[in-house]
Structure 1
Amino acid sequence: MTVTIKELAQLCNVSEGTVDRALNDRKGISPKTKKRILKAAQELNYLPNHLARGLAKGQSFTLGVVLFDVTNPYLAQLMTAMEIKARELGYVVFPIFTHNRPENEQIAFQHFQTRRVDGIILFSVQKGEAFEQQLKEMNIPIVTIGNRISPSFPYVGINERESMRDAVQYVVDKGYEQIVYVCPPLAHRGKVNLYTLEERLAGCREVLAERALPEPIVITDRNYLLALQDMDWSSSVRHAVVCPADYYALEVLSFFKKQKIRVPEQVGIMGFDDIDMLKHINPKLCTVKYPAKEIAVTAINYLIDQINENERKHLSAMLLQHQVVEGESL
């Protein structure tokens, strides 16, 4: 049988308000009393009544998260970090995966409104004035990640264009003359929100133009490995394959191994995201660190600030630091 907050207050010979301050790390309580209450709560396996707490505050202590899916290991890392941080703050996370389909996002919004989530972390494939108006009319705090929607909604991420500029600059400095840019989702440009991927491609093109190098060969085919198979990797021009996600770069690396094409002797590879599994890959992949955990934690904190109407809710964007990670694939 679990102990109630009233019973915990009686056992500690303090008021229920004092117990509440101790459990929720609020001011107005001495460190000694707080320590005594927390110790008693732990020993008695006290479980907070989130339903009662929510009713009192008009909150559900639930958060909605909208992502494409978790096929890309980066998104799986991001989702895991968000869930852990939300749970630390007393919130339950409801993830919905849209598989890049706007209609599935609409279903997600209906679901979140029905269940009265307190806030939403949104990685959207939609944009435009009508979409912005819809989000505003939901009257639910929203923090966006990945694809920016507009300055009207707080955004947490990195400088996407600058990060790819740094990556391609690193590739070019290694002596590579022709960039092959592999990004299948760009086949849907103009149909869905691809802010992140479009910014990265723009960064790539900018560097090549500044260095008077040829335009990148952009591959957007779903079967991009077949497109690579038709290319001549034995020419005197040094080629490097640049991928805006490690997910694609690892597929390319595996393809080259099967084709007996040596990396980096015949062709270089640059990835993006610095996913956890790279530590098991040989040769070590050159990539860009996209700080998944930091973005997840920042986005959750930022959303909670909005829910609680703290000052940080007025910030439009928080850009974290990326980093080129050296490897053996260039």
Structure 2
Amino acid sequence: MSVTIKEIADICGVSHGTVDRALNNRPGISDKTKEKILKIAAELNYYPDFRARSLAKGTTKTIGLVLFDLYNRSFSQLTNAVETESRSKDYLVNLLLTDKCIHSEKEAIENLISRKVDGIILFPINQGEAFESYLTNLNIPIVTICNKLSDKWSFVGIDDRSAMKDAVTYVAGKGYERVVYICPPLAYRHQSNIYTQLERFEGLLAGMQQCGYTEEPVVITEKDYLRALSRIDLKASKTAILCSCDLYALETMNFLKDRNYRIPEDVGLMGFDNIDVLKYISPKLTTVHYNVEEMGFRAVDALVRQLETQTPSSTPLVEYKIIQGESL
């Protein structure tokens, strides 16, 4: 059993409050006494009892983070940023993954509630009035990230629609006559919250209309999107493949290389996210960049502000830009 503050106080011959001030670096104690207490605490391997502290202060200094998986490298970068920023503000992070299951998402949220987290950063896959009413009744601060619910909730993200519209404009400027769009999540549009992907798809359509494309995009939503891609004659016209995230673009790049397509001579390719592993890829992928770490930082800041004020706050959208690579 670990040593208690009371035991340290008895050993040092001081009060419980004096030990507490020394351990928490608060004023009202001499340097000599503080040094003695810290020395004894270190020798006895003292660790603070966070459960007792949470009962006394009504806070656990923990934040819940709910994502659906970490397969996409951008989610791993996001998680790392949330943990780093939380730690800088003396919060610990409890991460739970839902595997894109709407029922698992609710179970994850309720698990965090039972662990008395102070607030939750949520990448929601549920949606609708019933779900928002459910969240409201939990009576806990929540910040949504990437997938938006409604204006009732603090939201951190980018202008995905404008970003994809600009991506199409960039592709059109390169002279591509046909667009193939790979976005498997669109198959789940009627089952779960895919706000981010829907915004990107709407941006694709708006961009193609603005750029004067008369041919509709070839939209691939199959889970086995590479098999679907294999059924398309990519050399029938000057074709650019746009992917709704870099993960799909990298798999597509390997697919094209295996079939001896030259990139960009035979077919163009563009991703979205600018994940950190792209620096190892050749040819360099053209993509849409936004600072995913900044999204994590802003989500934590928004949640901490809400914890302090009990009021959701608006957060500016994270900026984006086109990264010119060698794949278009």
Equivalent residue of 1:242, what SS? strand
**2:66–2:121 Cα contact (<8 Å) kept:** yes
**1:209–1:215 Cα contact (<8 Å) kept:** no
* Whole-angstrom distance in 1 between the partners of 2:38 and 2:297: 27
* Whole-angstrom distance in 1 between the partners of 2:73 and 2:40: 39
What is aligned with 2:314?
316
Shift of 1:290: 2.7
**2:302–2:315 Cα contact (<8 Å) kept:** no
* Whole-angstrom distance in 2 between the partners of 1:136 and 1:163: 31
Shift of 1:99: 1.0
What is aligned with 2:234?
233
* Whole-angstrom distance in 2 between the partners of 1:41 and 1:146: 44
**Distance change in 2, residues 1:22/1:189 (3 Å):** same
1:325 corresponds to which of 317, 320, 323 = 323
Instruction: Tell which structure's C-alpha radius of gyration is larger.
Output: 2
Following TM superposition, the consecutive aligned residue runs of length 4 or more in structure 1 with deviations greater than 4 angstroms are: 1-7, 14-23, 40-49
Shift of 1:83: 1.4
Shift of 1:308: 1.7
**1:3–1:44 Cα contact (<8 Å) kept:** no
Shift of 1:85: 1.7
Deviations 1:129-151 (A, max 9, x none): 11110000000100000110011
Instruction: Give the counterpart letter for 1:316 in structure 2.
Output: S
* Whole-angstrom distance in 1 between the partners of 2:124 and 2:291: 19
Instruction: Give the counterpart letter for 1:211 in structure 2.
Output: C
Instruction: Give the counterpart letter for 1:253 in structure 2.
Output: M
What is aligned with 1:222?
223
* Whole-angstrom distance in 1 between the partners of 2:40 and 2:279: 41
**1:291–1:322 Cα contact (<8 Å) kept:** yes
- Equivalent positions of 1:1-330 (< 5 A) are 49-213=49-213, 214-235=215-236, 237-309=237-309, 313-330=311-328
Shift of 1:41: 6.7
Equivalent residue of 1:158, what SS? coil
Shift of 1:91: 1.6
**Distance change in 2, residues 1:41/1:318 (3 Å):** farther
* Whole-angstrom distance in 1 between the partners of 2:271 and 2:167: 9
Q: CA RMSD in A?
A: 2.8
Shift of 1:307: 1.2
**2:22–2:38 Cα contact (<8 Å) kept:** no
Per the normalisation by structure 2, the TM-score is 0.87
Report percent identity of matched pairs: 40
* Whole-angstrom distance in 1 between the partners of 2:301 and 2:76: 19
Gaps of 5+ in 1: 24-28
Instruction: Give the counterpart letter for 2:313 in structure 1.
Output: L
Instruction: Give the counterpart letter for 1:260 in structure 2.
Output: N
**2:5–2:20 Cα contact (<8 Å) kept:** no
**1:143–1:155 Cα contact (<8 Å) kept:** yes
